[in-house]
Amino acid sequence: MNIDLLIKMANEIGEFFNGAEVHDAQAAARDVANHIRRYWEPRMRAQMLKYYEERQGAGLTELAKNAVALLYEAGKAAPPAAPSKGAGA
Per-residue pLDDT, 84: 56
Domain ranges of the chain: 3-77
40/1: higher pLDDT: 40
DSSP 27-60: HHHHHHHHHHHHHS-HHHHHHHHHHHHHHTTTTS
pTM over 0.75: yes
- Is-contact 63 17, C-beta < 8 A? yes
pLDDT at 75 over 80: yes
Write down the pLDDT at residue 19. 78
With CA atoms as reference, report the closest residue to 68 among 32, 21, 24: 32
CA distance 43 to 62: 23
pLDDT over 70, % of the chain? 83
pLDDT per residue over 12-51, tens digit each? Answer: 999 998 877 667 889 999 999 999 999 999 999 999 999 9
